Amino acid sequence: MSVHVVLAQDKEVQKFREATDDSKSGNYKEVLSNLFQLGTSNLTGPNKSVEFNSTLYGIKSIFCENITTDKVFSEQKFSRNLEFNTKLNFDEQFKYKGFSGGITYALINQRDKDVANFKDTDLYKNLQFLDNELSEIQFGFVEQLTKTDDKELSAKIEAINLATSILINKEFDKIDELSKSNIYFDKIITEFENRNKSIKLVDHITKIHELRDKEYSDLEKKALWTVSLNGTTNDKGNNKKLTFGTVFLQGFKHLELDIRSNLIYSDTLIEKSVQRLESRNSAGLNYKMFKRNDQSVFEIKLYMEYNSILKNQLADEKKNTFLASSDFRLRVTKDIWVPLTIKYDIEKSNFLGFLNITYNFGKEDEDKLVLNE
């Protein structure tokens, strides 16, 4: 004899985490990774790089097993929003040119906040109420049966378990068919409504569906704002460049507003030190053109770039440049993206192309985000 209690609200926490991760575009994940990310940039150009990024949360997950539990997860806001960035730079012949390293921090990360605070939502509270009520009813029926000498005790308890599980998981399509052979569907529904005079079970489950639809449909509309600081050395280890950057993403269902700005301090370190200051800015829209299993699989980003030399312009360069750019991003597997960037120099009428590969990895267990196949 066994009594199965299926906690729908706990399943919903896992489901919501999965849905949150599925809602993130490839463009989004390149701004801030979940755990670990390995990437290559500009494979077809003269300045290539191999990058590795990891959140502090990802590093902690290697050494701390209980970090995946809901309580500990909700306490890891800083760790989930802090990312370490490293990069090895190479020339066209893959000769080592230097190292880059720095940090990225999310000042606003609304999707992460929603996951951490999911248990405070009306959806979770209504699920918890339904679970508690149906579980108590389930135990009550089982307890009554165990006090009898019913020869079909085991079969009836399994029928109670089945009916309770289907009601908790809101599998309406199975109720009509199974209720003909399982009397406990009607008994559980009647008992629920006797205990809660003002609530019809079907109405309560319908309300849960409506709350879920609203909660999940809002995921893609959540904002992300990050700031970053990265330093770059040459092959001799001398400081060459310091970059302060910021990225703001705002979702609109299939579209994503993308605004970026970088302030770069650099030293040419050629013959004599020439200290330069430049700004690089871009704004555009990322479009999730195709989806599979609620995950984006093909994206196009169209944006304009404006770059300006603020200090020590070199003789062979223009002070201001405008570029019309586009990124085509294809999801090869659940973890691997292949972005292709095409830039058009408006003044020189030149096209430039850059091929990148991004791999998001890090095995996450059943208590954490798990990507669907």
Q: Which of 337, 369, 359 is nearest to 26 (CA)?
A: 337
Q: What value, to the nearest 5°, has the Cα angle with vertex 92 and ends 86 and 93?
A: 100
Bridge partner list, 322:
306
Using alpha carbons, list the distances in angstroms from residue 171 to 270, 273, 373: 70, 70, 23
What is the C-alpha separation between 356 and 29, in angstroms, rounded?
Answer: 14
Residue 41 is assigned to a structural domain of this protein: yes
pLDDT(195) > 70: yes
- What pLDDT score does 366 carry? 42
**Average pLDDT of the residues in 320-325:** 89
Residue 4 is assigned to a structural domain of this protein: yes
Residue 142 is assigned to a structural domain of this protein: yes
Residue, of 141 and 282, whose pLDDT is higher:
282
What are the tokens at 180? 């003909």
Residue 92 is assigned to a structural domain of this protein: no
Q: Which of 347, 343, 342, 341 is nearest to 317 (CA)?
A: 347
Q: Residue 229 is part of which domain span?
A: 1-87+97-373
Residue 110 is assigned to a structural domain of this protein: yes
User: CB count, 10 Å around CB of 265?
Assistant: 17
**Average pLDDT of the residues in 300-325:** 88
What is the C-alpha separation between 37 and 359, in angstroms, rounded?
Answer: 6
Q: Which of 111, 90, 99, 18 is nearest to 52 (CA)?
A: 99
What is the C-alpha separation between 262 and 249, in angstroms, rounded?
Answer: 15
Q: Quote the strand ranges of 56-167, DSSP E.
A: 82-90, 96-109
- What pLDDT score does 242 carry? 93
CATH of the domain at 285: 2.40.160.40
Residue 341 is assigned to a structural domain of this protein: yes
What is the C-alpha separation between 87 and 52, in angstroms, rounded?
Answer: 6
The total domain count for the chain is 1
> What DSSP character marks residue 335?
S
Task: Give the pLDDT confidence of 42-74 residue by residue, as tens digits.
Answer: 877 778 889 999 999 989 888 887 776 666 677
- What pLDDT score does 239 carry? 72
- What pLDDT score does 353 carry? 65
Residues 6+ apart with CB under 8 A from 70: 13, 119, 367
What is the C-alpha separation between 340 and 359, in angstroms, rounded?
Answer: 14
pLDDT(4) > 90: no
pLDDT(362) > 70: no
Pairing verdict, β 96-109 and 223-233:
antiparallel
Residue 39 is assigned to a structural domain of this protein: yes
User: Burial, 33: exposed, middle or buried (Cβ in 10 Å; 0-12, 13-18, 19+)?
Assistant: buried
What is the C-alpha separation between 115 and 70, in angstroms, rounded?
Answer: 10
What is the C-alpha separation between 122 and 135, in angstroms, rounded?
Answer: 20
Amino acid at site 152: E
